[in-house]
């Protein structure tokens, strides 16, 4: 199968490219706007890796690059997701991405019928969270006759106190109003609300998290029919949260345009531009973790399934931190599964609807990523 790793030499895409390059059944193409970076990565990967230069805003060129592929693994910023999906429909290629932060995911779900009619599969959000969290929730739900609640908690130990991945995406997560599903209704909250501590598996331990806008909320309330509550909390480093508190307090995340020296722009536009120019943190030791709690009825009895994972950096062989590993590897696995025909359905849908959770967890285990499951009556 031929897989295009789009943005495959970026911070998260590098892990996807590493995962795909290790599969002898995959003919890999790393496509990126920075051809030199793509060539440098390709030279470090096993096997013969092709590269292609592509500007994702050039629709015709993007279709040309995708035209003879089977699957595209899109690791670009989520703002481009719909553009890439439209190119995939024209090129008749299966599609995967790392998530759309709720609102973009809702927009992507509108392409479900178009992908279904074309006989194509589009997996919306198959990184770590969304992605592994959706797989974990589906696994827990598979044991239950009825799901009542799904709670998702993520956090980390080690790593950088700065922006672990796209500064724009992190700022969106911290400044956009979070969505929760409570008592059968969607509710919009204030940014950084719901702060509280929770304990993740060792060595991560106790962290302070808060509600954040996330793609899981765009799909799980519909996937698990009759569910009453779905929520998501994330724990970033305290220093990063403090930085964002200050930026919000100074109104530097405002989207309202202002005029400065004859030019109009918003504070947020300048902030995104400035942060994108800053040096990116290197590969350092860190551990990423999540805990997914699924409660409901099993054989008529109240039952609770808890699923957890800890992923560490791969510095010796890949030179990548845990953030990249637990985000990029799942998309690489999913690309392989979709390419060989193991999708549960066609259309544009979330992972919990398109991927067999037991099969996916087995694939993760082969890569030393272990999702642990416990049952508590």
- Portions of the chain given CATH number 3.30.360.10: 132-318
As its CATH architecture, domain 132-318 has 2-Layer Sandwich (3.30)
Which residue has better confidence, 11 or 303?
Answer: 303
Preceding amide of 130 cis, omega within 30:
yes
Q: How confident is the model at residue 314 (pLDDT cuts 50, 70, 90)?
A: very high
The reply to whether the predicted model has a pTM over 0.85 is yes
pLDDT at position 160 is 63
Domain ranges in the chain with CATH number 3.40.50.720: 2-127+324-366
* pLDDT-derived band at 184, boundaries 50, 70, 90: very high
Q: What is the pLDDT of residues 87-98, one digit of tens each?
A: 999 999 999 999
Q: Report d(CA 78, CA 84) in Å as an integer.
A: 10
Q: Which two tokens stand for residue 353?
A: 């609807």
What kind of fold does domain 2-127+324-366 have according to CATH?
Rossmann fold (3.40.50)
- Total number of residues shown for the chain: 377
**pLDDT tens profile 231-253:** 999 998 877 888 888 888 888 88
Interval 325-354 mean pLDDT: 98
**Range 288-314 average pLDDT:** 97
Report the mean per-residue pLDDT for the chain: 94
Cβ-in-10-Å burial (0-12, 13-18, 19+) of 2 comes to: middle
Q: Are 101 and 172 in contact (CB under 8 A)?
A: yes
pLDDT value of residue 281: 64
Q: Give the DSSP letter string of 227-288.
A: --EEEEEE---HHHHHHHHHHHHTTTT----EEETTEEE-HHHHHHHHHHTSPPP----EEE
Gap between the Cα atoms of 304 and 308, Å rounded? 13
320 DSSP 8-state letter: B
Q: Please state, in angstroms and rounded to a whole number, the distance separating the CA atoms of residues 310 and 36.
A: 34
Question: Is the predicted pLDDT of residue 282 greater than 70, yes or no?
Answer: no
Q: How far is CA 322 from the centre of its chain?
A: 14
Whole-number pLDDT of residue 164: 65
């Amino acid at each position: 199968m031929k897989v295009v790793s789009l943005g495959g030499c970026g911070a998260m895409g590098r892990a996807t490219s590493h995962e795909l390059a290790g599969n002898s059944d995959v003919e890999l193409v790393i496509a990126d706007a920075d051809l030199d970076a793509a060539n440098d990565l390709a030279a470090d990967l096993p096997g013969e890796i092709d590269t292609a230069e592509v500007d994702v805003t050039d629709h015709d060129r993007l279709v040309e690059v995708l035209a003879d592929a089977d699957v595209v693994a899109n690791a670009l910023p989520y703002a481009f997701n719909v553009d890439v999906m439209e190119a995939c429909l024209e090129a008749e290629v299966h599609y995967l991405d790392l998530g759309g932060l709720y609102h973009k995911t809702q927009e992507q779900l509108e392409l479900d019928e178009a992908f279904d009619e074309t006989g194509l599969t589009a997996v919306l959000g198959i990184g770590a969270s969304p992605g592994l969290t959706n797989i974990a929730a589906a696994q827990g739900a598979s044991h239950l006759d009825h799901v009542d609640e799904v709670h998702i908690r993520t956090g980390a130990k080690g790593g950088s106190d700065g922006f672990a991945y796209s500064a724009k995406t992190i700022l969106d997560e911290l400044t956009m109003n979070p969505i929760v599903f409570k008592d059968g209704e969607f509710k919009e909250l204030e940014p950084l609300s719901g702060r509280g501590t929770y304990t993740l598996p060792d060595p991560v331990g106790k962290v302070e998290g808060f509600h954040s806008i996330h793609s899981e909320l765009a799909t799980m309330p519909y996937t698990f029919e009759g569910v009453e509550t779905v929520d998501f909390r994330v724990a970033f480093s305290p220093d990063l949260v403090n930085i964002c508190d200050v930026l919000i307090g100074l109104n530097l995340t405002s989207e309202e345009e202002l005029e400065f020296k004859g030019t109009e722009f918003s504070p947020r536009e300048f902030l995104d531009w400035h942060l994108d120019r800053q040096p990116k943190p290197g590969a350092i030791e860190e551990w990423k973790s999540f805990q997914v709690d699924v409660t409901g009825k099993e054989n008529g009895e109240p039952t609770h399934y808890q699923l957890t994972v800890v992923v560490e950096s791969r510095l010796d062989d890949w030179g990548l931190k845990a953030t990249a590993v637990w985000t990029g590897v799942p998309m690489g696995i999913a690309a392989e599964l979709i390419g060989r025909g193991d999708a549960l359905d066609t259309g544009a849908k979330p992972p919990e609807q398109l991927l067999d959770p037991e099969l996916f967890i087995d694939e993760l285990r082969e890569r030393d990523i272990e999702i642990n499951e416990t049952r508590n009556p």
